[in-house]
Amino acid sequence: MTVAPTHLLDTSVYSQVLKPRPLPSVVRRWQQLGDDRLAISSICEAELLYGLALRGSERLYASYERALKDRLRMFAVDRAVAVAFAASKAAQREKGRMVADLDLLIAATAKAHGLVVATTNAKHFNLLEGLAVEDWSQ
């Protein structure tokens, strides 16, 4: 039986798998929920691949292919995500706040699919109304 995802991982959480010493809090929470309850945005995947490209490490890329590639369900940016993004960006602008577009797209993906954002950078997401956020840094 397939279980629906409940959490959308931010890149700060998703990338922990590739670190020599991942945060124990992230490892523990990931294990508690299990892969079936976790998902990523295509934006998160793009951010991770960009980081790997900058490093240019074949060893690190091989680790990604072995440990992460195709491991979790991935949500693409579709119309529902675009609508949620536009509303969030407009609301933030009206309040004079600037939130990075990639973070807004990850948040919009979570909103569009009714998921909780799992992050180690809660400050990037706590300003967004109507978004459930879990801080996995502790």
pTM given for the model: 0.93
Q: What's the pLDDT tens digit per position in 47-102?
A: 999 999 999 999 999 999 999 999 999 999 999 999 999 999 999 999 998 889 99
Q: Is residue 125 part of a domain?
A: yes
Q: Is residue 2 part of a domain?
A: no
**In the predicted model, what is the mean pLDDT of residues 114-131?**
91
Q: Is residue 94 part of a domain?
A: yes
Domain of 56 in residue numbering reads as 7-135
Instruction: Note the pLDDT of residue 1.
Output: 56
Q: Is residue 1 part of a domain?
A: no
Q: Is residue 131 part of a domain?
A: yes
Q: What's the pLDDT tens digit per position in 109-118?
A: 999 999 999 9
CATH of the domain at 109: 3.40.50.1010
How many domains would you assign to the chain?
1
Q: Is residue 44 part of a domain?
A: yes
Give, rounded to a whole angstrom, the gap between the first and last alpha carbons of the chain.
Answer: 31
